[in-house]
Structure 1
Amino acid sequence: MSKSALGRGLGAILEEVEEAYIGNIQGSKDLVREINLNEIIVNPFQPRKAFDSESIVELSESIKKHGLLQPVLVIKNGDGYMLIAGERRFRAVKLSGSKTIKAIVADLDKTKIRELALIENIQRENLNPIDLAHSLKELIEEYGITHEELSDIVKKSRSYVTNSLRLLNLSEFTQGQVSEGKISYGHAKILVGLEEIEQKKIVNTIIGQKLSVRETEELVSKLKNSIANKKSSKTIETSRLQLKKLSDEIEKKYSINVKSTKNSVTLKFANQSEVDTFLKAIK
């Protein structure tokens, strides 16, 4: 499927498909079938999740009186069918008590529908950053496209795509806070790379003190510097302990006067004979 087609989104594509099929009804009534409602599953890729119950009740009453004027659109799905367009009509017909529904079986590939649905999902303005990241990841994994290609398709910058995907490296706790809108995308991308326990501390601070993204950047920068200093101190201390251990072993094994300081080990020999004996022993 072309990138231009992908970029148009599922809703626009399906509207065109439905219009084309409905238009053909005028020429052939054979396109319309009466299908049992229990043979049809709703489209799991449908971006729209909320339906106005009051309007569905009104439509149901109209269908009882006048019948369903516009068939729904379905595709074959195993032994049954998947609803592609007309979920509001589908719900209203079920509510009316009917066991069947007028439908047109469209010749569409389910894989293409999945692809389009992911694109439309990504382009929704109210999609939370974690769901967006999962949708981006699915597209990359399922269709083998690069970050650059995906950025062209979804009309986002390559850096935005990459940073969004990096959010999936955050801890489960942090991802949950992002999904619930307790911290923003801007906050979240700063936390990538921190240990889980540090993420939790920062997230709680962001929420508790209502930190801005800039304030969060400063806090994380201080934390990283503190962690780096601790690691450096630990490395130095480890090196000093190793030097001390080496000094003790040499002194004990070779009966040599050894002096150990913070960064060095000094061997003191009484004469050249001791030097020669030591060098011979360590060869």
Structure 2
Amino acid sequence: MNSLPFAKPFCLAGLVLALGACQTFTPPPKDKPLEAQHIAWEHRSAGCQASDCALINVDTLRFIDEPALTELIEKRLLAMTDDSPDRAPAATLQDYEKEFLTRADARWATYLQAKVIDQHGPLTVVELSSYLETGGAHGMPGRGFINYDRQQDRALTLQDVLLPGQEEAFWRLAAQAHQRWLAENKFAQEPGFAANWPFQRTDNVALKKDEVLLKYPVYSIAPYAAGHPELHLPYAQLQGILQPQYLPTK
């Protein structure tokens, strides 16, 4: 190491103390719940004073200690605004606002939300919601999840948490949960319902503390009026299917 040309004994002593302090510093634990800064705003078409002005409403989160998660939330929310294959997605929510309000007709609206629904161990689970109203009989809602592993600093996919070769076993359990959902909602009694709305897989999987939650888009396994169907998989059924580190310890 090159010596400091201006160093004196007391300066060197201070440097040793400073280095010692650096060596004993420990970063915040990765299993501590993240603190989120709440960010919300609503803007309407410029100059519009009517009751049916086009608007955009955003209710999202910023994580000071996990900027990558903040960026991922914004990216996922922007992906949920994609209502035309001819239009490239906006780079930021502010860019999307300008583009949307410029082309929006009266009564058009965009609602975007991100909220933490669970935190346990190294996982922070965020639910994303959208509602796009651009004419027609009703708007289109959307849902999604982010299972963010703070130890790995990335979002997990279902393949990341399954044991090798267990994907089909997972979806067999989901299909059984679907049968329970049909019975609980009395859809199983409706003639032709199962044929018209068969079971499907979904990318919307949340690794909650007490269960694995599957949430479906509207028009996927049920009519629009059914909203976003939810299937619940208890961890007791997932022994030997999920990797052990993602199973509850108690």
Q: TM-score under structure 1 normalisation?
A: 0.22
Task: Flag the structure with higher strand content.
Answer: 2
Give the structure with higher Rg (CA): 1
Task: Flag the structure with higher helix content.
Answer: 1
